[in-house]
Structures are given as C-alpha cells and as structure tokens.
Amino acid sequence: MQYLGIDYGTPRLPELDAAFVPMGAWMHAYEEIAKHPVKIAVETANGRIVTRETALIADGAHDAADYRYLERLVKFLLWSVGGFRVTVCGADALTARLARDYAPGGARAFDAGFMDDVFERGLVIASCKEAEVPAACGEAVSIGGHTKGCRIGFDAGGSDRKVSAVVNGEAIYSEEVVWHPKTQTDPRYHYEEIVKAFQTAAGKMPRVDAIGVSSAGVFVGNSPMVSSLFIKVPRSERAFVKDIYNAAARALGGVPIAVANDGDVTALAGALELDAGCVMGLAMGTSEAVGYVNAEGNILGWFNELAFAPVDLSESAMQDEWSGDYGVGCKYFSQDAVIKLAPAAGITLSDTLTPAEKLKEVQKLLSEGWTAAEGIYRSIGVYLAHALALYDMFYEIHHLLLLGRVVSGEGGRLIESACRETLTSDYPALAKKINLLLPDEESRRVGQSVAAASLPRS
C-alpha cells in the first residue's frame, strides 16, 4: 500500500474501515528512507524540554510526504508532551509553513489556542541553527505510591464524584455522589461539592494527612488550566478555578494536596497493582483518555491528551468537531468510534439518541447475538494495534490497561482479541513486549481511589 508515494506494506485493515491509513506503519516506512537530519525541541512547563531527532526525505520529489510527516509528528508531540514553543532545526521552509498553520485562522489554530490556554504565553513555532537547538532537560515527576497515614482520594468525574477514605493504603470508606459540573457556570458550586466530599471522607478517619485528586483535564501544578468540568464557567472566573483544589485543601486546615490527570492516575493504579513500570492506561469512554507511568514508576508530567493526537492519515477520516482535525484518536478509541462504524455494520441508530445511548444500543445488540456488531469491536481492536505501534514510538509500553465503557463486556474481549491478532501479524516484536490487560470494574474503581489518595507526600 502507498500513501504520498511511500510504500508502507500490507497492514491488516479494520474490516469496517478499509480506507484507514495507520500513521504508525506509514511513519516507520517513511523513516526508513528519510536521511536528511531534523531536530525538534518542545518546551513545556517547569523548564522541561523534550527533544526528538528524526529525518526528512527532502529530495524535492516527496515534498507532500515531507510536510505531512513533519506536521503530524509535531502535532503528536504537542498533544503528548504539551508545550508553548516548538523549535525545529533542518527544515526552515516547512517550519515556516507549520508556523502559518498554527497562527490565528490557520488549520491548527485550535491546537495553538489550547496550548495558550494551558501555558498562558502563546505558542511559537520557529526554526533554528544546529548550535541553537535547546538541550533536553527536566525529569519525570515522582508522584504517587505514598500510602502511609490517613488520606483522602477524590475522583472528579463528569457525572459523579467519588471520594474514598484511605488508611495505610486500604480504602475504609467510599461513596459516589451524582453532580453536574459541566452545566454549572458558577465555580462555587464545584468548590462546595469538592469540600463536601473532602469533609465526608475526613469524618471517617481520626485525621487527614494528605489529599489526592484525580480529574480530567490538563494541570500545571494543582491548577486545572483546561478541564471539561469547568466548561461552562466564564473566563472571568479563571483565577478562582485555578486555585479551586488548593482552596478546598485550605478549608480542611491546609492539608497537603496533589492533583493529577485521571489518565495518569489510572496508569499509576495499574503500576501499583502490577508492581511494574512502563504502564499505559487507555480509557475508551466519552473520549479517549491516556496516562503513562515510566520504568521508575513516575509520571512524565506530559499532557498525554492523545484524544487530539493523530492516528489515521486517510483523507476520508472522520472529523473531530472540537479541534476540526481529521483522524485523531478520539474518533477511534471512544463511543464515537462505535457510532461511526455502526452504519458499515448495517446498524441504524436513531438520531434522537444521545451518544451514550447509541453505545448502549450497540452493546445491547452485541449481547443479543447480533454478529454484525462484532465487526465494530474487532475494527476498534485493529485500530488499537496500529495505534500502539505509533504510541510506542513516544512511550515505552510494557503493559496496557484497557478501560472505559466501550471495553466493557463482550466488546472489550473482542477489542483485545483483534488487537492481539493484529500485533502478532503486523508487529510481532510489540506482541511479545506489550501485556494487554482488561481490569474488572471493581478493582478499577477501588484501585483508582487508592492511587489518587497516594499522590501527595504527607
């Protein structure tokens, strides 16, 4: 098979999506023939700089492939690492084009705006000479694994909030309470609900030594810079939102608190359970959520917002309504993937149903023996195998935890099986290296609570 003049072999394709062009397989093929050296540096929070050395073909006959490769690579780096400045050495003309794409009104203006929301200093993409390439610096974040004492673990979900009282690593009390953070414009609602949860857990223990919070979003320190929980809160309340978790801890007497992305906490929970490192947690729910713990059991401090990172190079790939881009992860590893593949499986879903209801309808058909529905989950499993070949270029993955509503029940087993088969046929080395895991629901929930509680030092 070929894409932009690059032959990337004959990878196994999803049975319901023959147009799929696996980015990982294509990038591997491209890099085999690319010889013109290029260096990239991404500057992010706390002085951290992540660098990558690669190459372009740069022969004048593969201009389209060169730009596609560099543009997709930089986009993947931005959404995995996060950053406010990208410096490129060895590709001046392509870098200038990249800068135009990330300027206001450009094709990647959403990405640039998101980075500005997080780092509050704009996004710069610039060329440099060899001697000016920033050096890599910054270490992984040693967070979690602190189990001694009386701790609160708080999981801030979009539809319910869960809090646990954890004593010496054991959850002695847990509760789930329905709340509606995504519809509230006043962040004091969020604050009061968070404090109420903290106080409930505190009442179950003789004291509180520390509080750990797991939440969707991107955090700098304990501040939620971008989070769907506060999607309706006006920007005029931004200062209040940035301090919300620290303020809640102060309400309990200034207890030490640490906040982390829920994907990272999921990976941390898996690492604690497995007593191993190089763990990636991938949750397929409303969107795609990813977290990672390295070989030393530490969190990298990266975004890991792979819902917006590309996985499919097909020109006919589904568009993400939020970012406006095509072929990004949220359309392949979420309920949206099930919905988009349903017509190809001969399943018609009513437009009156919500996305969550559409997923439930497909799951119901699968449980009733509708064999056409099986193809949906097998296709997602093939997507996943090819994505792992891409993700492993940026993360060293030894264990993958599959989580979320999409992988519940028989669907999860079909995804896992198709992923294993595709890894074996197309990426045998990865098949031997990566251990796929489907945790049961109970251990997932309790493990998440204990992991969140273990985030801060007391």
Residue 14 resides in a domain: no
Of 435, 433, 384, 373, the closest CA to residue 409 belongs to: 373
Q: Which residues contact 98 (CB under 8 A, 6 or more apart)?
A: 70, 71, 74, 86, 88, 125
Domain assignment of residue 276, yes or no: yes
Same domain, 340 and 412: yes
Same domain, 126 and 147: no
Q: Tell me 137's DSSP state.
A: B
Q: For residue 159, what pLDDT is reported?
A: 78
Name the 3-class secondary structure at 279: strand
Residue 192: which CATH number? 3.30.420.40
On the question of pLDDT at 446 being above 70, the answer is no
Do residues 413 and 331 share a domain? Answer: yes
Beta strands in 44-123 (DSSP E): 49-56, 85-89
Q: How many CB atoms lie within 10 A of CB 308?
A: 23
Rg (CA), the chain: 22
For residue 75, give both structure tokens.
């986009």
Mean pLDDT score, 363-390: 96
**Does the residue 251 lie in any domain?**
yes
What six digits make up the tokens of 157? 């979900």
Do 100 and 144 belong together in one domain? no
- pLDDT-derived band at 360, boundaries 50, 70, 90: very high
Please write the tens of the pLDDT for every residue from 46-80: 889 999 999 999 999 999 999 999 999 999 999 99
Asked whether residue 74 falls in the same domain as residue 155, the answer is: no
> Same structural domain for residues 329 and 449?
yes
Per the structure, the complete domain to which residue 335 belongs is given by 139-458
What's the average model confidence in pLDDT over 249-263?
93
| 226 and 306 part of one domain | yes
Do 236 and 282 belong to one domain? yes
What pLDDT shows up at residue 286? Answer: 83
Residue 213 lies in a domain: yes
Do 73 and 215 lie in a common domain? no
Q: 302 lies in a domain?
A: yes
pLDDT of amino acid 444: 55
Residue 38 predicted with pLDDT over 70: yes
Tokens representing 351 are: 């437009």
**Average predicted confidence (pLDDT) for the chain:** 93
Nearest alpha carbon to residue 82 among 394, 321, 320: 394
Rounded to 5 degrees, φ, ψ at 150 are: -105, 115
- Residue whose structure tokens are 């135009």: 100
Residue 177 has pLDDT above 70, yes or no: yes
196 within domain boundaries: yes
Q: How confident is the model at residue 378 (pLDDT cuts 50, 70, 90)?
A: very high
Residue 99: both structure tokens together: 């800068």
Q: Which amino acid is at 388?
A: L
For position 439, what pLDDT does the model report?
A: 83
> Which tops the pLDDT comparison, 328 or 446?
328
The answer, yes or no, to whether residue 124 has pLDDT greater than 90, is yes
SS3 249: helix
Same-domain pairing of 145 and 77:
no
Per DSSP, the three-state class of 312 is: strand
**341 touches 317 (CB < 8 A):** no
- Please count the helices (runs of H) and the strands (runs of E) in the chain: 14, 17
Task: Assess if residue 17 is contained within a domain.
Answer: no
Share of the chain above pLDDT 70, in %: 98
Over residues 204-213, mean pLDDT? 97
Same domain, 171 and 48: no
pLDDT tens track for 97-119: 999 999 999 999 999 999 999 99
Within this chain, do residues 73 and 188 fall inside the same structural domain, yes or no? no
Q: How many domains does the chain have?
A: 2
pLDDT above 90 for 266: no
Strand partners, 257: 211
Binned at pLDDT 50, 70 and 90, residue 133 comes out as very high
User: Tell me, what's the pLDDT at 443?
Assistant: 58
Rounded to the nearest 10 degrees, the angle between the axes of helix 109-119 and helix 63-81 is 30
pLDDT at 359: 94
Structural domain ending residue among the three candidates 132, 163, 188: 132
Tens digits of residue pLDDT in 306-328: 999 999 999 999 999 989 999 99
Evaluate whether residue 99 is within a structural domain.
yes
Last residue of a domain, one of 103, 132, 161: 132
Q: What is the pLDDT of residue 262?
A: 83
* Residue at which a domain ends, from 101, 132, 163: 132
With a cut of 60, say whether residue 131 has pLDDT above it.
Answer: yes
